[in-house]
Amino acid sequence: MKLIKKIGIVAIAALLLVGCAKNSASSETAKGKTGDSDYPKKPVEVVVGFGAGGETDTVARLVFQYASKYFDQNFAIINKPGASGELAWSEVAKAKPDGYTIAFINPPTFVSHPVQRPNAGYKIEDFRIIANMVKDPACIVVPAKSDINTMEDFVKKAKEGQLSIGYSGPGSSESLTLRQLEELGNYEFDKIPYDGSASSVVALLGGQIDSCILNVSGAINYTNDGSVKIIGVASKERSPFYPDVPTFEESGIKVYNDAYRGVAAPKDVPEDVVDKIEEAINKALADPEFKKRAEEMKLPIYYENSEEFTKTIEQIKTELTKELEKGEW
């Protein structure tokens, strides 16, 4: 009888321990979903996959300067250029999902790496998309004193086999645009890759290349000081900042390239962390002082929340997957 009682007591104790373990696991799971209620306790690193001074870096620094006002902590911009952004995005994909390391992403390039190469350093599914802040068309720029004044001049020189152009490297959206231009016009560029637009513009101004492709926001400083001129933009409508510059389409070239710029975190980041970062960005974009600065810098602000930006990225993935049928770019 005593033995039965002892067995009963042991069984009850075991059940209690199992129950405690389940409650503890449930508590940890809930904590994982909601994160640290004191977040943020320290600055958040925003990893930018391109060099300092380019349009991607410029947007990141401006937006997060103002987002810090609504976040209780600073955002620290960390430049890690290489492989058209892939090095930085691969690193963030593997980072601890605590909200203290996030990636500044710029689709379509962000999407093109894993679409083209299954063995790329990251997958889109490795990320939790947070928000977008800019939609920036590509453009072609040449030195101000160049005899190339229009897209027609540009195409003529390319067909003569005498045109070099700087771009952000293989796998980038600029690389795809150049391939599309070559296919449509039946010519080939002398394509020179750089780690971001800032480096390509330096080469352009140094006389090392004839032209370069970058985004409109990256050209503003150079058009302001009169060192370069834009000869065409790859959007369906003219840029409001350069209303006298025709689109590619107006020159008979139906090629389009709009770069998005936003942020994403490692996929298992807590939901309330995503909400706090998203809210800080949204408030920053609505800040009157920020809006004034953005207007002066000719930044095409285009906000999308997490859900909207995720859908945009999915659409870009579908389009690039179709483009891949023609080969890598």
Distance from C-alpha of 52 to C-alpha of 176, rounded to nearest angstrom: 23
| pLDDT band, very low/low/confident/very high, at 34 (cuts 50, 70, 90) | low
CA 160/CA 247 separation, integer angstroms = 23
- Taken in order of first residue, the domains within the chain and their CATH numbers are 44-135+259-326 (3.40.190.150), 137-251 (3.40.190.10)
Kindly state the average pLDDT of the residues 81-107.
Answer: 97
Give me the chain's average pLDDT, please.
90
Q: Give the range among 26-40, 134-148, 286-300 with minimum mean pLDDT.
A: 26-40
User: Pairing relation of β-strands 101-105 and 228-233?
Assistant: unpaired
Burial class (CB in 10 A: 0-12, 13-18, 19+), 108: buried
pTM: 0.80
Stronger pLDDT, 1 or 154, i.e. the higher one: 154
Q: What is the pLDDT of residue 296?
A: 87
Residues 236, 254 contacting (CB under 8 angstroms): no
119-158 per-position pLDDT tens digit: 999 999 999 999 999 999 999 999 999 999 999 999 999 9
